[in-house]
Structure 1
Amino acid sequence: MSRPHDGHPPAFPFGNPLRMIFPRRSNLSPKIVGLLNSFEEAQAERLKKLKPKDQGDVLSFSWMRLAMELLSETYADIKVLIAELQFPVADWDEKWMDIYLDNSVKLLDICLAFSSELSRINQAHLLLQCVLHLLDISKASPSHEQLLRAHSSLGDWMKQISLRNPKLENCSTILHGLIESLHLNKVKNSAKGKVLMRAMYGVKVQTTFVCSLFAAAFSGSSKPLVNLHVSDKFLWAEIFNDLQANVNGVIRSLVSNGSPTLLKELEAVEVSVKRLYPKIGSESNVPVEEETLQNSVLNLRKSSERLLQGLDLLSKEVEGFFHIVLTGRDALLGNLRIDDSDSYSRLKNNAEEQVVR
């Protein structure tokens, strides 16, 4: 986060957003105004980076990786903001902490579902590697038996990919639970607390939006998508509202057009598989035209390599975000243990109950 200029409160291009959360007579230090302004401007810049250049960018692994990377950066910023506000955990309202702990459990569950789906796709990819090994024309022309084995493996791959991951089924429910906690909580007699709640609102909106896109991409359904309207009192509101309308519109269009797969790299592999599959499935000993086979195998190899690379990079980003949420949760509980053993015991019990549920 960039720091404000010394002694000069920054100007807000859309009006001072602090008016909506502070009484007119509230005396805010230039530092507090600058911290919030810096945080929201940084969030706006991240959302700008997510604007797709064209519809084909949406739900590509590179775009999804960027979305998760930027979300992790926002979490790093909120951590810095809390430290710079010098707002100790002991001053947090109990409701804030309960909501934070509850939401963190929900986010961990969502991350586990995403990781499970990425792992499932990666496991299915082993079948493609087997096919490419069997049909490696650079070594020798495949025998009739090898063609039939490759054909069987492609059939198994298509069956595995068409299955739905049960761990994704609860994502929509969890996301709607996160939406219920989006409202700005009322904070009495604490300028720092109100700034923190305003910033936390921005984090929650970005989190819910990104997770809804991932859930839609993995499930092949538009059901998980959320429609959030952010007031223009926030510096990042216009950018977010436009981005959400754009991306959600693309995904809904893909679903309505009957696209079976929303993930771009996975869709490319499916196209290659479906072109190759009928070419090698003949029970007769009629030889397959070598050039045609070679081109089909080459296309499958290229698309499968892009899929595998994208899976690896996106899996690392999801794992990194999971770690950020988990360590943030542990840090809060650790600080509560130091500040107030009674409060810590109460919240620890609540957290354990959430995990059990």
Structure 2
Amino acid sequence: MSNAQDANRSFFSFGNPFRIISPKGPKISSQLLLVLHAFEATLEERLRKLIPKSKDEMLSLSWMTLAMKALCESHNDVKTLIMELELPVQDWDEKWIDVYLDISVKLLYICIAFSSELSRLNQGHLLLQCALHNLGSSSSEQYVRACSSLDGWKQHIGSGNPRIEKCGNILDDLLESLALPKIKKSAKGKVLMQAMYGVKVQTVFVCSVFAAAFSSTTNNMSHLDVADIYSWAPTFKRLQDLVNEEIRVRFSRGRFNVLNELEAVDSSVKELYPIIQGTVDTNETESVVKIIGELGRTTEKLSQGLDLLTEEVDSFFQVVLTGRDALLSSLRSGATVIDSILLGNRDAQIVN
């Protein structure tokens, strides 16, 4: 993902993820199929809810919050599925455990990177508030201070985040993990791997969209060519095509940022700049007050959106962390996966 030309690559070079449904593998009972179909139907419905009704809804902080919430729910559904399958940890193949632990480490880093970026964007809110405070006065001295604050905001928002820049390599690794381990003996394991495949596709997609939005580049975008044998595949493809295309269009137009709320603030700042610098007539007080009021509204909306998204990213971090800790605990104690998941859910409730 370090190169723009890699944006549309699929993951088939990493192996065939669909071998888990090969007839040569263990036969899945009708009861297990019902469990799997219910899981995948819920996943498809979640993906459908992320399809925006209009382009204006796309790539807003509210949409990103919804996407992260859906991700939390899907990962929690995996925990529930494990309990329903009653699959003891002793029956887990070492490859499954290694893959799960490796993925969880990468997801924890991505969560930390996203949280750091949201915190950085929130810090810019202080500069905007300072500018708005100074714009409450009509004195030239206060205007100079407001101008300085807005300059500081633009420099702050435009600066890079090293943690976000590293997300590209991590997303590359997550793409490789989509090639699932081969299941030889366990029908329950086969169901679990197929369910986890769907959640991993959702995870890579959401994280790649976040990384692209935060890095202001298409280099971090992924294109996942999911086979139609999965019931949720058509819905996912529609969602992916709509979002990825909109990101490309916005960057091609030279957008300051693909996020709606950031772009709205930047538009207000650009409109105010000539007034602050004294290059236009400021005698029309009503017009000036209107522009300042718009900056105040867009600034507040940005702040609220960042706070809500930060909460969901933190929730996803806790979901991944408690699941990982539960599995490690079960490996040390010899407990069942069911006990581990229950422990993880209890800890998550305490944290929240």
Query: 1:321 corresponds to which residue?
Result: 316
Distance 2:93 2:161 in 1: 38
How far off its partner does 1:292 sit?
2.5
Query: 1:311 corresponds to which residue?
Result: 306
Matches within 5 A, 1:121-136: 121-136=121-136
Structure 1: runs of 5 or more not aligned: 1-17, 341-357
Query: 2:180 corresponds to which residue?
Result: 184
Query: 2:211 corresponds to which residue?
Result: 215
How far off its partner does 1:260 sit?
2.2
CA shift in 2, pair 1:305/1:25, >3 Å? closer
TM-score (norm 2): 0.86
The match for 1:142 among 125, 128, 138 is 138
Distance 1:241 1:160 in 2: 36
Query: 1:101 corresponds to which residue?
Result: 101
The match for 1:253 among 249, 252, 269 is 249
8 Å Cα contact 1:106-1:174 kept in structure 2: yes
The match for 1:335 among 330, 334, 340 is 330
8 Å Cα contact 1:280-1:288 kept in structure 2: no
Q: Partner of 1:188: helix, strand, or coil?
A: coil
Given residue 100 of structure 1, which amino acid in structure 2 is its aligned partner? Y
The match for 1:198 among 159, 184, 194 is 194
8 Å Cα contact 2:256-2:266 kept in structure 1: no
How far off its partner does 1:253 sit?
1.2
Distance 1:73 1:56 in 2: 25
Q: Partner of 1:187: helix, strand, or coil?
A: coil
Tell which structure's C-alpha radius of gyration is larger.
Answer: 1
Query: 1:15 corresponds to which residue?
Result: none
Given residue 195 of structure 1, which amino acid in structure 2 is its aligned partner? V
8 Å Cα contact 1:61-1:310 kept in structure 2: yes
How far off its partner does 1:26 sit?
5.5
Q: Partner of 1:223: helix, strand, or coil?
A: helix
Given residue 339 of structure 1, which amino acid in structure 2 is its aligned partner? G
Q: Partner of 1:259: helix, strand, or coil?
A: coil
8 Å Cα contact 1:20-1:233 kept in structure 2: no
Q: How many percent identity over aligned positions?
A: 54
How far off its partner does 1:278 sit?
1.9
How far off its partner does 1:308 sit?
0.6
Distance 1:200 1:249 in 2: 27
Q: Partner of 1:260: helix, strand, or coil?
A: coil
- Asked if residue 264 in structure 1 is aligned to residue 267 in structure 2, the reply is no
Distance 1:55 1:196 in 2: 35
How far off its partner does 1:24 sit?
7.3
Distance 1:38 1:54 in 2: 29
Structure 2: runs of 5 or more not aligned: 1-17, 336-352
Query: 1:65 corresponds to which residue?
Result: 65
CA shift in 2, pair 1:19/1:171, >3 Å? closer
Flag the structure with more relative contact order, 1 or 2, with Cα contacts below 8 A and sequence separation at least 6.
Answer: 2
Q: Deviations over 1:9-46 (max 9, x none)?
A: xxxxxxxxx99625379553332111101100000000
Distance 1:283 1:58 in 2: 36
Q: Partner of 1:262: helix, strand, or coil?
A: coil
Q: Deviations over 1:290-326 (max 9, x none)?
A: 2222111001001001101100100000010011011
Distance 1:28 1:148 in 2: 71
8 Å Cα contact 2:25-2:185 kept in structure 1: no
Distance 2:175 2:285 in 1: 56
Given residue 302 of structure 1, which amino acid in structure 2 is its aligned partner? R
CA shift in 2, pair 1:151/1:96, >3 Å? same
8 Å Cα contact 2:168-2:219 kept in structure 1: yes
8 Å Cα contact 1:65-1:314 kept in structure 2: yes
Query: 1:85 corresponds to which residue?
Result: 85
How far off its partner does 1:282 sit?
3.2
Query: 1:274 corresponds to which residue?
Result: 270
Q: Deviations over 1:95-130 (max 9, x none)?
A: 111111111111111111111111001001101111
Q: Deviations over 1:218-269 (max 9, x none)?
A: 1111111111111111110111112111111111111122212111101100
Q: Partner of 1:296: helix, strand, or coil?
A: helix
Matches within 5 A, 1:37-48: 37-48=37-48
How far off its partner does 1:90 sit?
1.6
Given residue 308 of structure 2, which amino acid in structure 1 is its aligned partner? L
Given residue 320 of structure 1, which amino acid in structure 2 is its aligned partner? S
Distance 2:48 2:90 in 1: 35
